[in-house]
Structure 1
Amino acid sequence: MTPKESIEVVDRLGDITALARSLSDENRLRILVYLADGKQSVSRIVEELQLSQPLVSHHLKELKRCLLVNVERNGPFIYYELADPRILHILKDLAAIGEELLANRKTL
């Protein structure tokens, strides 16, 4: 990383921290993975993930605040979708890194 790139990262640490915090909850991660299949209503998310409606709404509000999901209102229904498909790539990369780190720790 060049010094300029380092400065840019440091300048964005607040944003990075907020994003990391929003990804630190297993239920939010489950919601994001479920949304990979496309736009979903709150009731569908509740049904598929077997979570309470207030809990799902709370997590969707946080994901929206961090710009990880887009929201669309259609009459009485609200639909959510991933704001960017690269979010799933981040999750896959984190899972792979985690597996490698855990495997390395076991061999030490």
Structure 2
Amino acid sequence: MTDGTEKFARFLKVLGDANRLGIVMAIGKESLSVTELVRIKGLSQTLLSFHLRIMREAEIVRTERNGPFIYYSLSDPSLIDILAALSKTQSSNDKKPDENRKSELTGKRAGKTARQSMQFYAKIN
């Protein structure tokens, strides 16, 4: 794997935790203090700080000190738009029952694969 791919995989792994994803969504395009995030997320300060440290190391959030408070914001505010789009995609997929979706997808894939195989075979013969 390339260094860029490994860094991206780590980034996605960090966001794969429900608490951290919730923290990112809570921050959005704002800057919030730890105290504000504790109130919003309902996590203990210790647990919240643990998750914020991991996100800081992955460069998902950045900090800014203002007097005695440390404020957290997203390193790239466009992340919230990307996550919102992914969330909409997931929500629209949830509208169909899993079994119907599975048969629909595998049926389309099987038909497409068979067609592609026949077209490829016709080209080489």
TM-score band, normalised by shorter chain: 0.7 to 0.9
Q: Cα deviations across residues 50-81 of structure 1 (Å, max 9, x unaligned)?
A: 11000110111111111111100122111101
Match of 2:82 among 76, 80, 90: 90
Q: Tell me the residue number matched to 1:46.
A: 38
1:106 paired with 2:99, answer yes
How many equivalent pairs are there? 99
Q: Tell me the residue number matched to 2:72.
A: 80
Identity %: 32
Gaps of 5+ in 1: 1-9
Matches for 1:1-108 after TM superposition, within 5 Å = 11=2, 12-99=4-91, 101-102=93-94, 103=96, 105-107=98-100, 108=103
Gaps of 5+ in 2: 104-125
> TM-score, normalised on structure 1?
0.79
Cα distance in 1, alignment partners of residues 97 and 82 from structure 2: 21
Larger Cα-atom Rg: 2
> AA paired with 1:34?
A
Q: Cα deviations across residues 8-48 of structure 1 (Å, max 9, x unaligned)?
A: xx522211110111101111111111111511100110011
Q: Tell me the residue number matched to 2:118.
A: none
Q: Tell me the residue number matched to 1:3.
A: none
> TM-score, normalised on structure 2?
0.69
> AA paired with 1:79?
Y
Secondary structure at the residue paired with 1:80? Answer: strand
> 2:29 touches 2:74 (CA, 8 Å); kept in 1?
no
